[in-house]
């Protein structure tokens, strides 16, 4: 099965993605994680990625599509995957060639997400308040149309992401059946 997790930063995508991976034994892949690893490289590309993610902007679609497509061609992902953080733009959604079975949208309010992120003690380098606010803005402007794209295809599952971690996990499992 091929799943996509969508939600604003702080919605719980990686928590739920990891729970789902353990439960279903399907590999989990986060584009944010891939880009953060690439940002450590001491090359012009690494520096560019670092500046872009630290400022809260998106990596251009062409680069993102190329990287995700290369990853998903690996045999490890042949039988399915849980993809966290991609697609984030309409262009990425339209040009993504791999099939998708279900898109799980973890819905939380901006206020709840900001509250959760402010209390997180594993804050990353790219987690300044300015960058977080920009990511939330970009989600509403640029990623929300992706929700409509999948809604129209009948693939979108909307989950109330403000429940407990365990209740969200159970709801996801019952809805993907
Ligand atoms: P995340 O861990 O999903 O919040 O991603 C961290 C950062 O990586 C984002 O703020 C973007 O700069 C970049 N990124 C991750 N996924 C994508 C994507 N699908 N398209 C463009 N940029 C992305």
Using the structure block, give the residue that is written with the tokens 């709801």. 171
Quote the pLDDT of residue 58: 97
Nearest-CA residue for atom 2 of ligand 1: 32
Query: Which sequence spans correspond to the domains of the chain?
Result: 2-176
Q: What is the pTM of this model?
A: 0.93
Torsion sign (Cα): 55, 82, 18, 152 = positive
Q: Is the pLDDT of residue 121 over 80?
A: no
Pocket perturbation via mutation, ligand 1, pick of 30, 59, 89, 132 by most ligand atoms within 8 A of CB: 59
Order of strands across the sheet with 2-6? 28-30, 81-84, 2-6, 102-107, 156-160
Per residue in 155-169, pLDDT tens?
999 999 999 999 999
From the list 6, 3, 4, 2, the residue with the least C-alpha distance to 106 is 6
From the list 1, 7, 2, the residue with the least C-alpha distance to 135 is 7
Quote the pLDDT of residue 124: 67
> For the domain with range 2-176, which CATH number is right: 3.40.50.1100, 2.40.128.20, 3.40.50.300, 3.10.580.10?
3.40.50.300
Distance CA 106, CA 28 (A): 16
Distance CA 57, CA 108 (A): 21
Quote the pLDDT of residue 99: 82
Q: What is the DSSP string of 63-108?
A: HHHHHHHHHHTSGGGTT-EEEES---SHHHHHH--S--SEEEEEE-
Q: Is the pLDDT of residue 130 over 70?
A: yes
Per residue in 104-114, pLDDT tens?
999 999 999 98
Per residue in 64-113, pLDDT tens?
999 999 999 999 999 899 999 999 999 999 999 778 999 999 999 999 99
Nearest-CA residue for atom 3 of ligand 1: 32
Quote the pLDDT of residue 119: 72
Q: Is the pLDDT of residue 25 over 90?
A: yes
Distance 170 CA to ligand 1 centre (A): 27
């Amino acid at each position: 099965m091929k799943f996509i997790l969508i939600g604003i930063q702080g919605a719980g995508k990686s928590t739920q993605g990891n729970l789902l991976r353990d439960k279903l034994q399907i590999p989990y892949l986060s584009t944010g994680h891939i880009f953060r690893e690439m940002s450590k490289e001491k090359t012009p590309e690494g520096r560019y990625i670092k500046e872009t993610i630290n400022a809260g902007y998106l990596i251009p679609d062409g680069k993102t599509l190329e990287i995700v497509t290369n990853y998903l061609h690996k045999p490890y992902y042949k039988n399915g995957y849980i993809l966290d953080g991609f697609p984030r733009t309409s262009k990425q959604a339209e040009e993504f060639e791999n099939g998708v079975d279900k898109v799980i949208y973890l819905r939380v309010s901006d206020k709840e997400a900001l509250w959760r992120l402010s209390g997180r003690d594993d804050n990353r380098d790219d987690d300044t308040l300015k960058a977080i606010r920009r990511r939330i803005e970009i989600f509403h402007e640029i990623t929300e149309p992706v929700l409509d794209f999948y809604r129209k295809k009948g693939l979108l599952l909307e989950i109330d992401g403000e429940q407990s971690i365990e209740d969200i996990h159970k709801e996801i499992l019952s809805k993907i059946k």
